Chains A and B, each alone.
Chain A
């Protein structure tokens, strides 16, 4: 690990002013310390934000607010979250391990870096780590890589389960820098790689995610996160789906669908949603809608299975939530 200096600000304003060139904010450290050991990330200064007051989990009339420093485990087990947004709780509980969930912050989860093996191995080129150096994954080992939102520069998946659930629920994040703040839809926050895979999101230097806001959606009580992976626990998704379903007699009244493990960012699927609305609850409807999920997919040598797998994952989630299995 490279040397760094260490600061512990006591206010958001001070955190922004402490943030200098080549600084990184330190919260739970589960991504950052790991990548600093690998020398994938080499900050010369860490600004430890753990003493800042970005806490609280509150359900109000306009929705759910979660402080960015709340731990994944605390949000996952919060009774309001479990009752009103089960998809958030399930996405969190299917992430990482109990120890990591006790450490990792909600804000940090949204900023975790890809698990692409080439990104994590400094002896190989990687456009995300070293712009312009090339992408060995495109012609290399790419079984776990993305089929949606890829470019000739990068095919790495976004690893967060939480982000998939939040994008499905149309959540926003509050970004703060000094005395300025702005609210950004999480779906808009993330960039697809294009020619600049190193620019992963809208965050500006010195800017912090301070809060997550999830709109009120009473029928999200019928929501779930389904994650398909190589082993049943403690593994990243091959495919996953975050879904909420509003049912009227035997028809779909409304739906929210986003998928993970297949996109270079959490992949929102408004077309699948539109195809479901007003349709009868049955497998044929679900399969027809799920086909739309992979429009424009560009499978690679080892990950073509994800095209069908993600469709099946969506159908399974719909069958479960629709009470058909």
Chain B
């Protein structure tokens, strides 16, 4: 396994062919937009009352209100100009192309968008990018050291801590926080302190196993 966990979760089975799912979806979108029947749909998807949709770069007319932000993401300084409405989640995914962090509910209820700000686990969907000014952000892409998975990533693989994998980046970021906070004294405590991360596949028992395994390794490894 030379590819890190997140990359593989984001790629279709035929990723080796050199075409990612995102590229595939983009091509599909381009094809459908070229069909006349899709035109009304495409129009409604661009702007409403002149406002940019969430997740898109701001459209003409809002450029005057762009704000510059500087922060570090996975150790690298980043400078962005964003509409004040852009969430940290959208900035990370759409502007920095770090698509490991997932958008689930986009309302702070599911935990799929969990990242670390200054080492603390938070929800990037309820954080404006502006609020991260000057902060250090770690996403799922920042956990592995080169080809070496973080112990929590390796434990999720080892314990089958997922099925479909969509909640997994958020689960792993939250699990790292849970272990660092020391909330791993019992299965019950792990369950309680991981309750902000929903898994619709129901991989919860294996997630708890993975956290216990990783916590043991992280302690042993100092």
Using a CB–CB distance below 8 Å, which chain A residues touch chain B? 1-6, 8, 26, 29-30, 33-34, 37-38, 46, 48, 50, 73, 96-100, 102-103, 233-234
In the assembled complex, how far is the CB of residue B50 from the closest CB belonging to chain A, in whole angstroms?
Answer: 9
B153 on the A face (CB < 8 A): no
User: Which residue in B54, B84, B178, B197 is a CB contact (below 8 Å) of A4?
Assistant: B84
Residues of A within 8 A of B191 (CB): 233
Give how many B residues have a beta carbon under 8 Å from the other chain's beta carbons: 36
Cβ contact of A98, chosen from B67, B130, B177, cutoff 8 A: B177
Query: Residues of A contacting B121 with CB < 8 Å?
Result: 98-99, 102
Which 6 pairs, one residue from A and one from B, show the smallest C-beta to C-beta distance? A97-B196, A233-B195, A234-B195, A6-B84, A1-B85, A33-B126
Of residues 180 to 215 in B, which have CB atoms within 8 Å of A's CB atoms? 181, 183, 191-197
A-B contacts at CB below 8 angstroms, number: 84
Q: How many Å lie between the Cα of A37 and that of B62 in the bound state? A: 18
User: Across the interface, do A98 and B65 meet the contact criterion of CB distance under 8 Å?
Assistant: no
The answer to whether the Cβ of B122 comes within 8 Å of any Cβ in the partner chain is: yes
**Cβ–Cβ < 8 Å partners of B65 in chain A:** 3, 5
Contacts of A99 in B (CB 8 A): 111, 114, 121-123, 174, 177, 196
Known: A98-B177, A99-B114. A46 touches B122 (CB 8 A): no
A96 to B111, CA, bound (A): 11
Taking CB atoms and an 8 Å cut-off, the chain B residues in 137-194 that contact chain A are: 174, 177-178, 181, 183, 191-194
Which residues of B are found within 8 Å of A96, using beta-carbon distances?
A: 196
Inside 8 A of B177's CB, which chain A residues have their CB?
98-99, 102
B101 at the interface (CB under 8 A from A): no
**B136 interface residue, CB < 8 Å from A?**
no
- Whether B181 contacts A29 by the Cβ 8 Å rule is no
Which chain B positions have C-beta within 8 A of A48? 130-131
List 9 extra interface pairs beyond A3-B65, A34-B108, A97-B196, CB under 8 A: A5-B84, A26-B128, A29-B126, A30-B126, A98-B183, A99-B174, A99-B196, A100-B196, A103-B123
Minimum CB–CB distance for A200 against chain B, Å: 21
Nearest CB in chain B: distance from A31 CB, A: 9
Once the chains bind, are B111 and A97 in contact (CB under 8 Å)? yes
Q: Within the assembled complex, what's the spacing in Å between the Cα atoms of A1 and B58? A: 12
Q: Which of B84, B126, B183 has the most CB of A within 10 A?
A: B126
Contact partners of A6 in chain B: CB under 8 A: 67, 84, 130
Partner of B126 from the list A5, A50, A98, A103 (CB cut-off 8 Å) is A103
**Looking across the interface, which residue of chain B has its beta carbon closest to that of A4?**
B84
With CB as the reference atom, state the residue of chain A lying closest to B130: A6
Distance A101 CA – B20 CA, assembled complex (angstroms): 36
Contact with A along B106-118 (1 / 0, CB 8 A): 1110010010000
User: Is the beta-carbon distance between B192 and A233 smaller than 8 angstroms?
Assistant: yes
Contacts of B84 in A (CB 8 A): 3-6, 46
Q: A78 to nearest B CB, angstroms? A: 14
Tell me whether B95 is interfacial, beta carbon within 8 Å: no
CA distance A100 to B105 in the complex (A): 14
Contact A34 B114 (CB under 8 A): no
CB distance from B180 to the nearest CB of A (A): 11
Per-residue contact bits, chain B 43-66, to A (CB 8 Å; 1 contact, 0 not): 000000001001000000010010
Closest to A36 in B: B85
Residues in B with CB closer than 8 Å to A1 are 51, 54, 85
* Cβ–Cβ contact B181 & A98, under 8 A: yes
B119 to chain A, nearest CB (A): 10
Task: Establish whether residues B127 and A33, one from each chain, have CB atoms under 8 Å apart when the complex forms.
Answer: yes
* B121 CB, min distance to chain A CBs, angstroms: 5
Closest to A234 in B: B195
How far does the Cβ of A236 sit from chain B's closest Cβ, in whole Å? Answer: 12
The verdict on B4 contacting chain A, using a C-beta distance below 8 Å, is: no
Residues of A within 8 Å of B107, CB to CB, are 34, 37-38
User: How far, in angstroms, from A99 to B133 measured CA to CA in the complex?
Assistant: 19
B99 contacts A by Cβ under 8 Å: no
Complex contact A29–B127 (CB within 8 A): yes
Inter-chain contact A34/B196, CB cutoff 8 Å: no
Q: Is B87 in the interface zone, CB < 8 Å from A?
A: yes
Q: Look across to chain A and name the residue whose beta carbon is closest to the beta carbon of B87.
A: A33
